[in-house]
Structure 1
Amino acid sequence: MEQPVDVVQFISSLLDSGKYKEALSVPIEEKYAHSFKENCWDLISVIVGKIQNDTMIIKPSLYSACEEMLAIVVQKATPEEALLEFIEQIEVAKNDAQFAIIMEPLQQLLLKLSAKRGRSLEWCLNSIASYIDAIPIPEHKLEGQERLLMDSDTNIRRIIKIYSLLPPFYTPFVKEMTTPDANVRTKEIITAFLISLLVLRYGRRSFIPLTAIAINNTQKIVRSYCQGAKKEIVVATNTDQDDHQYEEDIKKRILAKALDFVTKSGWSVDSLAHGAEAAGYPGVSHGLFPNGGGDLVHYFNVTCNEKLVEEMKSWPKEKLKEPKVPAQQIENAIMTRILMIEPYKSTWPKAMAIQTLPNNVPNCLATLLSLVDDICYHTGDRSVDFNWYIRRVGLAGIYKASELFYLTDSSQNSSATRSFVKSRIRDAELIQIALNMNPVAVAPQTLTAAFVTAKNMLGINTLK
C-alpha cells in the first residue's frame, strides 16, 4: 500500500532543490489535490519563510515560484482560514520581502470575502499598521538642507518601500467606497487607515515625517513634514536596484555640478562639496566619493569618452571600408578628445597626478583602455590577431604623450599638438610595418615594451 505523502514537506523540498515546475504541478495532480487543500494553512508559512530580502535578485525563479504557489493557495484554500494565516505571517514577518509577497494574496482573499469584508479588512489593515509602526524611526538631528539626506537612511528607505506597496493593495477597496451601496463601516475603516498612514507612531510620541505618493511605477514623492516645513524629494523606491540607481543618479548630479568649480577649487573635495550644494544637497555629501578628486577626474574622463563616441558615430564611413585604418580619423579622434580638456587645462596636471595614486589607477587604466578601444573600433579597426593589442597599446601611448604635449602647447588652435599627434601616428605606422615583417621574433620585446609603456602612462614607474 502506498504511503501517504506529506504534501507540505514534498513541495518544500522541490522548491529547495530548484524543481519549481514540479512544485507548481503538485496542486493539480489528482493524488495530491485533497491533501494540498487540507494543508494550505501550513503551506503558507513554509512558502513565505523561504523569502529573504535578496531572493528576488539572487533567486528570481524561486521568488516567482513562491508567488505562483501562494496564488494557487488562494484559489484552493478556505478563504477564512487562509486569511488568518496570512495575517499571522504579516505579524511574524522577518523581512520586508516576506511582507511584500503577502500583499497580493491577502488582497485577493479579501476580495473573495465580500460578505465579511468589514471585520476582515480591519484585521488586515491593523496588522499592516503594526508592521510599519515596528520599523524604527531614526532621530537624526539634521538641519536645513541636511534633511535631504534622510532618505539615505536604511529605515527611512524601508518605510518608503513599504508605503509603495500599499496603494496597489488598498486601491480596489477605495474604489468600492465610491459605489452607492458601499458599507459605511468599511468606509470608516479604510478612511482611518489612510489617515494613519500620515502618522507613524513611535512609542508615545507622534511623528508625521513621510507620506509616499505614487508618481509612476518606479518613483515616489516623499514629502517631509518636519518643523512645520514641507519639502518634496523624488526618490526611487521599488527594488534594491532602484536604490542603487537612485544613489548613482545623485552622484552624477553632484559630479556634473562639481565640474563647474574645478577651475577655482581644482580636482578636490572642495569642488565636490560645492557641487553637492549646487545640486541641492548638503556639502557633506562629498562623503559619497571615497576617492575624492579621483572620482571627479574619473567622471570627467568617462563623460568625455562618451561624448567622443557619439561624435565618431556621425563621422563619414566611406574610408572605413579600406583595408588600412585611416590615420586622419585617428588623428581627429585624439585631437577631439584632447581638446575636451581645454576648460580645465590649467588644472589638468593635478588631475594627471591624482590618477597615478594607487586607489585611482584601476579607474584610470579602465577609461584609457576604453578610450583607445573606442577610437580603434570607430576608425575601422576590425583586427582579431596580434595587431589588435599592438594598435591599442600604441594608441594609448600616443594619446598620453600628446596629452602631456598639449599642456605645454601655446600655439593657436593647438596646431603644435596636432602636428605632434600626426608625427606620432606616422612613427607608429613605421613600427607596425617593422612588426609585420617578423612578428614572431619581435613578439617578446613588443610585449615587454607594451608593459613598460602602460606603466609609464600611469606614472607607476615613478612611484616609490
Structure 2
Amino acid sequence: MSDPKDLLLDAALPHVAFDGWTEATFNAALADSGIDGAVARAICPRGAVDLAVAYHHRGDAQMLAALKAEDLSEMRFRDRIAHAVRLRLEAAEDKEAVRRGTTLFALPHYAPDGAKLIWGTADHIWDALGDTSDDFNWYSKRMTLSGVYSATVLFWLGDTSDGHAATWAFLDRRIDNVMQIEKLKAQVNKSPALSKLMAGPNWVLGQIKPPVRFSKGDFPGSWTAPRD
C-alpha cells in the first residue's frame, strides 16, 4: 500500500503552482487523492506546510539514491560536493513548487522549518560523501554547505540559461570560495606561532560533539505506512 503522504503530495503538486502551499492546495489534494480527511490531518497536522516539508524530503531521498548509484571515486572531493548539490536541484523537477516553498519558509513562523530542511540536505550530502568528523567540524561543514546550497537555490530559481549552465558555474564559484577558506585554515594550522595562539580555542572546539543519531522509528508519534 502506498504511503498516504506520498499520495497527498502527488495530488497537491499540480495545484501548488496556482495556490502555493496553502489550505486550498491541501483541500484540493484531499479531494483528488480520496484519502480520508482524518488520516490526512493525522499525517499532516499543518496541512500543506507538512506537504511542502515532505516535498523537500522527497528531493533529498532522490538525490541520495542518485549518489548511491554513481561511482564518484575519480572525482575530486570538491567536485563530489558540487555534483551532489547539482543532483539535489535536478531532483526538484517542479521549479514552481520550490519557488513557492522558498516563499513559504521565508515567513517568520516557518523560517525554523526552512532552516532545518536546508541543514538536513547539507547533512545528507556530507554523510553520503563519507564525512567522519566528530567535533566542531561536523557543524562547520554543514553550516558552510547550507549557505552554498541556499545561495545556489536562489540563483537557480531565476536562471533561464540553457541547461542551467549559469547555475552550475555559480555553484562552482561558491565552492571555490569555500575551498579557499579551508586552504587558509590549513595554513593557519601549519604555522607554529598561530597554532600556539589558537591552541586554547581549538581545544574548546574539539570538545564539541555532533548530536546522537536516531533512526526515524525512534521518535514517538511518527506515521508508519501500513504494509501490504
Q: What TM-score results when the alignment is normalised by the length of structure 2?
A: 0.72
The 8 Å contact of residues 17 and 100 in structure 2, kept in 1 or not, is answered as no
One-letter amino acid of the counterpart of residue 392, structure 1: R
Over the residues paired in the alignment, what is the CA RMSD in angstroms?
A: 3.0
Matched, 1:315 2:108: no
Q: Structure 1's 390 and 403: CA in aligned 2 closer, same or farther, altered over 3 A? A: same
- Counterpart CA distance in 1 for 2:138 and 2:127 is 10
Higher relative CO (Cα under 8 Å, sequence separation at least 6) belongs to 2
Q: Indicate the residue corresponding to 1:240 in structure 2.
A: none
Alpha-carbon offset, residue 319 of structure 1:
4.0
The 8 Å contact of residues 369 and 396 in structure 1, kept in 2 or not, is answered as yes
The 8 Å contact of residues 301 and 367 in structure 1, kept in 2 or not, is answered as yes
Q: Unpaired segments of 5 or more residues in structure 1?
A: 1-233, 235-245, 448-464
Matched residues, number: 194
The 8 Å contact of residues 274 and 283 in structure 1, kept in 2 or not, is answered as no
Matched, 1:378 2:128: yes
Matched, 1:298 2:46: no
The 8 Å contact of residues 330 and 375 in structure 1, kept in 2 or not, is answered as yes
Matched, 1:278 2:32: yes
* Cα deviations by residue, 1:310-345 (Å, 9 ceiling, x for unpaired): 11111215248xxxx6111111111111123342x2
Q: What TM-score results when the alignment is normalised by the length of structure 1?
A: 0.38
Matched, 1:335 2:86: yes
The 10-residue stretch of structure 1 (258-267 or 418-427) with the greater mean CA deviation from structure 2: 258-267
- Counterpart CA distance in 2 for 1:270 and 1:283 is 14
Alpha-carbon offset, residue 358 of structure 1:
4.4
Alpha-carbon offset, residue 276 of structure 1:
1.3
Q: Unpaired segments of 5 or more residues in structure 2?
A: 190-197, 206-228
* Cα deviations by residue, 1:43-82 (Å, 9 ceiling, x for unpaired): xxxxxxxxxxxxxxxxxxxxxxxxxxxxxxxxxxxxxxxx
- Counterpart CA distance in 2 for 1:387 and 1:357 is 30
One-letter amino acid of the counterpart of residue 363, structure 1: D
3-state SS of paired residue (2:21): coil
* Cα deviations by residue, 1:193-249 (Å, 9 ceiling, x for unpaired): xxxxxxxxxxxxxxxxxxxxxxxxxxxxxxxxxxxxxxxxx9xxxxxxxxxxx9xx4
- Counterpart CA distance in 2 for 1:403 and 1:284 is 35
Alpha-carbon offset, residue 296 of structure 1:
1.8
Larger radius of gyration: 1
3-state SS of paired residue (1:438): helix
Alignment of 1:6-405 (within 5 A): 249-281=3-35, 287-288=41-42, 289-319=44-74, 326-343=77-94, 345-405=95-155
Q: Indicate the residue corresponding to 2:183 in structure 1.
A: 433
One-letter amino acid of the counterpart of residue 273, structure 1: N
* Cα deviations by residue, 1:169-214 (Å, 9 ceiling, x for unpaired): xxxxxxxxxxxxxxxxxxxxxxxxxxxxxxxxxxxxxxxxxxxxxx
Task: Name the structure where strand makes up a greater proportion of residues.
Answer: 1
The 8 Å contact of residues 291 and 359 in structure 1, kept in 2 or not, is answered as no
- Counterpart CA distance in 2 for 1:310 and 1:286 is 27
* Cα deviations by residue, 1:361-414 (Å, 9 ceiling, x for unpaired): 443233222211121122233333433322211111000000000111110000
Alpha-carbon offset, residue 279 of structure 1:
1.5
One-letter amino acid of the counterpart of residue 259, structure 1: L
- Counterpart CA distance in 2 for 1:342 and 1:252 is 16
Alpha-carbon offset, residue 356 of structure 1:
3.0
